[in-house]
Chains A and B, each alone.
Chain A
Amino acid sequence: AQSVTQPDIHITVSEGASLELRCNYSYGATPYLFWYVQSPGQGLQLLLKYFSGDTLVQGIKGFEAEFKRSQSSFNLRKPSVHWSDAAEYFCAVGATGTASKLTFGTGTRLQVTL
């Protein structure tokens, strides 16, 4: 069975600083990987996804993620964080295709200081 680990429960960065959120997955074949963001009391918004091809994926709101098969990682990055980026970030893996059910990590709460 697939699994996702987000080692950092809570991260605090200053506005304008760079950000990297870690995600490690466990799955035998090529996974379908996703990053979602959730604001308090809201549903999930898709930031970006990786299915195949270029391992560096660009998403919305200036986010990018890099798929590294050798490290089983799919870390999320942003060069310069804005205060509005404060939210909960979830990494997820799907096993059987784009429409498969997802296994989510435990999430990383991002706090941005001004």
Chain B
Amino acid sequence: GAVVSQHPSWVICKSGTSVKIECRSLDFQATTMFWYRQFPKQSLMLMATSNEGSKATYEQGVEKDKFLINHASLTLSTLTVTSAHPEDSSFYICSAIGGVENIQYFGAGTRLSVL
């Protein structure tokens, strides 16, 4: 089946630093990937749509300069949380479109804790 790998699974950083999260489609190519954010005991909120070779499309209310997305290849999209602050602490999940049925497959998520 289609596998999406997300790295790291957990990261702790100091306030003001930047953190990069990687999302890789391991056995398929994905022209489109999505980035979601999930607060404790809440649903997933779409942050942005990442398209290979073009700029990401951000959802309303998501700061483009805070959450930088790069989709440089058909198997890798990265989310960089710039100048992270405690309120950015959350669970970030990526997904990639692919597989035989061309549907979303999700990574295992990254827990970000900003001190």
B49 touches A101 (CB 8 A): yes
A102 touches B108 (CB 8 A): no
Q: Which residues 47-65 of A have a CB within 8 angstroms of B?
A: 49
A43 touches B43 (CB 8 A): no
Nearest A residue (CB) for B104: A102
Nearest A residue (CB) for B110: A43
Interface residues in B, total, Cβ within 8 A: 24
B102 touches A43 (CB 8 A): no
Using an 8 Å CB-CB cutoff, how does the interface string of B38-79 with A read, 1 for contact, 0 for none? Answer: 000111101001000000000000000000000000000000
The yes or no answer to A2 lying at the interface (CB within 8 A) is no
A46 touches B105 (CB 8 A): yes
What's the least CB distance linking A96 to chain B, in Å? 12
CB contacts (< 8 Å) of B32 on chain A: these are 99
The yes or no answer to A104 lying at the interface (CB within 8 A) is yes
Out of B41, B44, B95, B107, which one reaches A90, CB within 8 Å? B44
B106 touches A90 (CB 8 A): no
B97 touches A104 (CB 8 A): no
Given contacts A98-B101, A102-B104, contact A42 B109 (CB under 8 A): yes
The yes or no answer to B103 lying at the interface (CB within 8 A) is yes
CB contacts (< 8 Å) of B41 on chain A: these are 109
A98 touches B106 (CB 8 A): no
What's the least CB distance linking A74 to chain B, in Å? 15
A41 touches B109 (CB 8 A): yes
Given contacts A42-B108, A49-B101, 5 further A-B contacts (CB under 8 A): A41-B109, A46-B103, A101-B46, A102-B46, A102-B104
- Residue pairs across A and B with Cβ atoms less than 8 A apart, 21 shown, are A41-B91, A42-B109, A43-B4, A43-B106, A43-B107, A44-B93, A46-B103, A46-B104, A46-B105, A46-B106, A49-B101, A90-B43, A90-B44, A98-B101, A98-B103, A99-B32, A101-B34, A102-B46, A104-B44, A106-B43, A107-B43
The 3 A-B residue pairs with the shortest CB-CB distance, nearest first, are: A44-B106, A43-B108, A43-B106
